[in-house]
Structure 1
Amino acid sequence: MLGDLNSKQIEYVLHSLIIGRIGCHADNRTYVVPITYAYDGKYIYGHTKEGLKIKMMRKNPMVCFEVDVMENMSNWRSVIAWGKFEELITPEQRKQGMKILMDTIMPLMTGETTISHAMSDSHQKSVEAMKGVVYRIELTKKTGRYEKT
């Protein structure tokens, strides 16, 4: 059976995953790229190095965001959302964005080196000193579909 996800199901999918895809478009070129993210109910938060997606989102902040859960070809859920990219620039904005991201992702880290790094006293200092671009995407429209056998 194919169907539409309701708003509660859409929110559950967005909250339960940490890997999604951003679709951006600028200069007659479309680019889709996977990201690690955190979702707080309004914004998708991310962190990255300078590169093509950041250049494109700075030129055209209107983006698409997609996540999916695939159990198999007949059992899946997919959410597509649209929103606006915003670069977090001030130290306080960057710190808050990274805190949301790290609070979501760190509990899912399972490698010995990532766990020891997360548990170290220097973890908070490393978050504050982290280089790169911290950003968020305000999701303004969301849809979802599923197939279930």
Structure 2
Amino acid sequence: MRRAKQAICEKDCLSILDRASSGTLSLVDGAEPYAVPLNFVRCGKHIIFHSAKEGRKIEAVRKNPYACFSVIDSDLVRPEKFATDFRSVIVEGKIDFVSSADEKKMYLRELCKKYSPCVSSLAVEKEIELSISSVLILRLSIESISGKVGIYIMEKENGTG
């Protein structure tokens, strides 16, 4: 990273991933870039996505499983400073398709825990059973992770701004 003093440590990058509700998955589709906003959940050193079984995203991953996933945690424009207060994270790695029914169920439970925390476990299990045959689970291995914070947030947190 060019501005190393604005780098975010890995622990804080993981925290940003955990609290973010969506991010952008970037792929290569033949000779063209392809980016799609998705919701997700982090499970250890993996980012989990759910998807329909067909579509441009799936075909792109089948052709080239290497991907980049980015999340913006905060994004406040400061016009008077000609700057933006932001925190962002970029993950790079390889995507694989989860085929085990038990693993798919586990990841779907984690997605439900993140996005539907007030729904009963009975309702979650019912929804998983209804949808599991039509859902594809993609697992992005976190091979590298980096984050950056805007200069004014960094200065405020360090007591220098």
Superposition TM-score tier, normalisation by shorter sequence: 0.7 to 0.9
The aligned residue for residue 101 of structure 2 is 91
Gaps of 5+ in 2: 78-83, 153-161
Q: 1:1-149 counterparts in 2 under 5 A?
A: 3-49=6-52, 50-73=54-77, 74-107=84-117, 118-119=119-120, 121-130=122-131, 131-149=134-152
- Give the superposed CA RMSD: 1.9
SS in 2 for 1:18: coil
Per the normalisation by structure 1, the TM-score is 0.85
Bigger Rg over Cα? 2
Alpha-carbon deviation of 1:41? 2.6
The amino acid that maps onto 2:61 is: M
Alpha-carbon deviation of 1:123? 3.0
Separation (CA, whole Å) in 1 of partners of 2:13 and 2:128: 30
Give 4+ residue runs of structure 1 displaced > 6 Å after superposition.
Answer: none
Alpha-carbon deviation of 1:120? 7.6
Report how many residues are paired.
140
Instruction: Indicate the percent of aligned positions where both proteins have the same amino acid.
Output: 25
Per the normalisation by structure 2, the TM-score is 0.79
